[in-house]
Amino acid sequence: MIGASVTRREDARVLLGQTRYLDDLEHAGLAHVAFVRSPHARASITGIDVPKEADGLVAVLTATDLDGLVAPFPVPPLDGAELADEPHPVLARDEVRYAGQTVAAVIARTRALAEDAAELVRVFYAPHEAVVDVRNSDVALMRWERRGGDVDGAFAAARHIVHGSYALPRLVAAPIETRGAIAEHDPGRDLITVWCSAQDPHRPRAQLAHILGRPDDSVRVIVPDVGGAFGSKGVIAPEVAAVAAAAIKLGMPLKWAEDRLENFLAAYQGRGIEGDVELALDADGRMLGLRARLWADLGAYLLSTTAIPPHTAAMLMTGCYAIPAAEVKLVGARTHKVPTGPYRGAGRPDAAYMLERLVDHAALELGIDRIELRRRNLIRRFPHRTPMGHEYDSGDYERCLDLAVELGGLRTSRQAGDQATPSAGDTVTGTGVAMYVERAGGQWESAEIELGPSGRFVVASSACPHGQGHETTFAQIAADRLGAELDQIVMRFGDSATVPRGVGTFGSRSVAMAGSAIVIATEKLIERARALAAHLLASEPGQVQLAGGCFTSSRGERALSWTDLARVAYEAVGLPPGMEIGLRAAARFHSPPVFSSGAHAAVVEIERDTGKLRVVRVAAVDDAGTVINPLLARGQVVGGVVQALGECLVEEAIYDDSGQNRSGSFMDYSLLTAAEIPVIVTAEVPSPSPLNPLGAKGAGEGGTVGTLPAVANAVANALGGLHLDPPYSDEKLWRALQDAAA
């Protein structure tokens, strides 16, 4: 089963419309919530007038109504970072710091009536000038720096020092299903249950427990079917905290289902980072040291995960190269925009983009073939400790590079290895290659398995799918280890009351961590089953083998299936003395991070007269360690590649000087459609991780990480080495071509 391209078990339900997303859920007596949001990016609130009555109105709650009921968001400490005490509040009190920030919750019998009543709330604002540009901000929400190795020595000894300045705009995650929650309080048990469109139940529960100031066992989070998240549902929305607090205060179940305009305005965004990076090299092109100054646009407040992506970028700045010394200084600046947070890749594409652009730049400056320059500097021995302090566990970077070059057709394409002047003709063409390392896994996850009397295994996992296909992949892992059929495995996810505790589904960690917890739970279950089988076969556990889903003793006269054991396990009379009734096992797996890696190649064409960029081909070679399901892993890579192509071609959250979001709907912020997707060739170079029993690493984000720098390098290659930051709009490229011609 491990390594089999099984089609997704969950798809039939999805395709037949049998899934139940948050907005499909109805509860008796449900009232609906709409939010009054700030129209200003920065203002003091001087007063709020609340309507006394309106059609269907239940209540209007402002920050003062929630006094004593809610605390601001928790912001956990992060690896030596200095974090300002500026957590995101649930509702704004005296000031607003971004357009779209929630000021009041309006509760009415229907959503439409709640929206109508929200228009009757009058908020008095005294607007102030907004800070939009990170480099103009004088408030740091975060500072972090680290130095490893002899950086000054490396730069003093260098024959060449190359510099580059890079910027990635903010992006929106744009899941098909927006955010939302239903909250219901049971006063008799003092239990608040929140159905929440989230990436997992554990983080929302912990965040709600902190914000509502109650023990986490009095908060239950249920994650229904989720229509995508891409990182943007790893922290509850401030709106969800308001809905939970209001449900307790008003004693009625409440629902908030975010609409698309709210999602554009108020869901946290990704990327938004700039950097000045320099690389020191010797005469042969060996990389000696790296220095980077990074400015991250963190927005107005800290949400629980806001500081994580820039820190991840900073830690990965040396990529897959054996650079002995590095220094990275990071400032997370406050701007008057919605906060940023993890968006697929979450810092990994940022680091790969800056470093891989700089490596191409160095190749050009030194006159060394860009593929050869990479090859000369690759890390080849593992474990490898980077100057930032990561320990890379495994990889075969050179094989990834070779295969990407081959599958991308880079050796045979006209411009391979040289960044000459733009070619003549109607189009200019370019090729690019880029490498990446991706931190995945780390921390811990849990699994519980019970063999029911009917002979089916119920596997409860602490991870939680929202599109990745865990229902299939995790069942494959369990079936493989238990020697069971796939349809004997029933997966359970997403309810904090019924699945074991865990950290969560993000950072491409679920297979490596939660999958490994399943492996360990199966081993424990098999041990217990072996003891029972030995008793029934009048043998010793050491003499009993599990093969093909059956237990046999070495004498081999009789075989017991899992179903046979299941039947006996619940009949207390047949059990050996002291054996627990039933067959179940639980496990918790923890390990340091594992490091996926890869090399991507891209071929692009730019139309001379219009500046229109066409990505012709992408070759994505990734190392996710042992791949559980190659079909699904390819789906993950392709999905990520397409998101990266969106970032390259069209995506950008644009704010004007007053902090207004000018790209607040799909009219102004476009996503790619299937029609714009080029040929995408994928390949896996599996070097198993030694850090978990599956040898698995992550596959969920690599596509977004490798393709961005590969396309950026191809665009620069097409423009004769000229650097431009994405998105590569027609206008931007047309101007560059005009300038070059002039």
Interacting residues toward ligand MCN by CB under 6 A: 175, 228-231, 344, 466-470, 473, 505-512, 624-629, 632-633, 636, 639, 696-701
| Residue number, 164 or 231, with CB nearest to ligand MCN | 231
Other CB atoms within a 10 A radius of the CB of residue 61 amount to 22
In angstroms, give the least distance from the CB of 639 to ligand MCN.
6
| Residue number, 231 or 500, with CB nearest to ligand MCN | 231
In angstroms, give the least distance from the CB of 196 to ligand MCN.
15
In angstroms, give the least distance from the CB of 630 to ligand MCN.
7
In angstroms, give the least distance from the CB of 200 to ligand MCN.
9
Q: Residue 412, exposed/middle/buried by CB under 10 A (0-12, 13-18, 19+)?
A: exposed
Q: What are phi and psi of 133, to 5 degrees?
A: -95, 130
For the chain, counts of helices (H) and of strands (E) = 16, 27
| Residue number, 28 or 674, with CB nearest to ligand MCN | 674
In angstroms, give the least distance from the CB of 130 to ligand MCN.
29
| Residue number, 219 or 708, with CB nearest to ligand MCN | 708
In angstroms, give the least distance from the CB of 318 to ligand MCN.
22
Which residues are registered as beta bridge partners of 622? 598, 684
**Can you tell me which residue has the tokens 């109805």?**
26
| Residue number, 285 or 635, with CB nearest to ligand MCN | 635
| Residue number, 207 or 468, with CB nearest to ligand MCN | 468
| Residue number, 309 or 639, with CB nearest to ligand MCN | 639
Q: What are phi and psi of 714, to 5 degrees?
A: -70, -40
In angstroms, give the least distance from the CB of 306 to ligand MCN.
16
| Residue number, 553 or 626, with CB nearest to ligand MCN | 626
Which residues are registered as beta bridge partners of 162? 279
- Is 75 within 8 Å of 206 (Cβ atoms)? no
Strand boundaries in 557-628, DSSP class E: 559-561, 583-607, 613-623
| Residue number, 239 or 701, with CB nearest to ligand MCN | 701
The string over 252-275, giving b where at least 16 C-beta atoms fall within 10 Å of a residue's C-beta and e elsewhere, is bbbbbbbeeebbbbbbbbbbbbbb
Q: How many CA atoms lie within 13 A of 237 on its CB side?
A: 33
| CA 208/CA 254 separation, integer angstroms | 16
Residue nearest to ligand MCN (CB): 467
| Residue number, 137 or 510, with CB nearest to ligand MCN | 510
Give the DSSP letter of residue 264.
Answer: H
Query: Which residues contact residue 119 at a Cβ distance below 8 angstroms, ignoring those fewer than 6 apart?
Result: none
| Residue number, 298 or 633, with CB nearest to ligand MCN | 633
Which residues are registered as beta bridge partners of 170? 271
In angstroms, give the least distance from the CB of 73 to ligand MCN.
20
| CA 735/CA 497 separation, integer angstroms | 58
The pair of three-digit structure tokens given for residue 402, joined into one six-digit string: 């070779």
Q: How far is CA 473 from CA 57, 134, 518, 528, in A?
A: 47, 42, 11, 24
**Can you tell me which residue has the tokens 């411009």?**
415
Q: How far is CA 155 from the centre of its chain?
A: 35
In angstroms, give the least distance from the CB of 695 to ligand MCN.
8
In angstroms, give the least distance from the CB of 193 to ligand MCN.
24
The pair of three-digit structure tokens given for residue 701, joined into one six-digit string: 């984000």
**Can you tell me which residue has the tokens 């089609």?**
7
3-state secondary structure of 347: coil
| Residue number, 87 or 342, with CB nearest to ligand MCN | 342
Query: Which residues contact residue 704 at a Cβ distance below 8 angstroms, ignoring those fewer than 6 apart?
Result: 344, 345, 348, 349, 640, 641, 643, 644, 647
In angstroms, give the least distance from the CB of 691 to ligand MCN.
13
**Can you tell me which residue has the tokens 């299903």?**
177
In angstroms, give the least distance from the CB of 505 to ligand MCN.
5
| CA 488/CA 479 separation, integer angstroms | 8
In this structure, the strands spanning 31-37 and 82-83 are unpaired
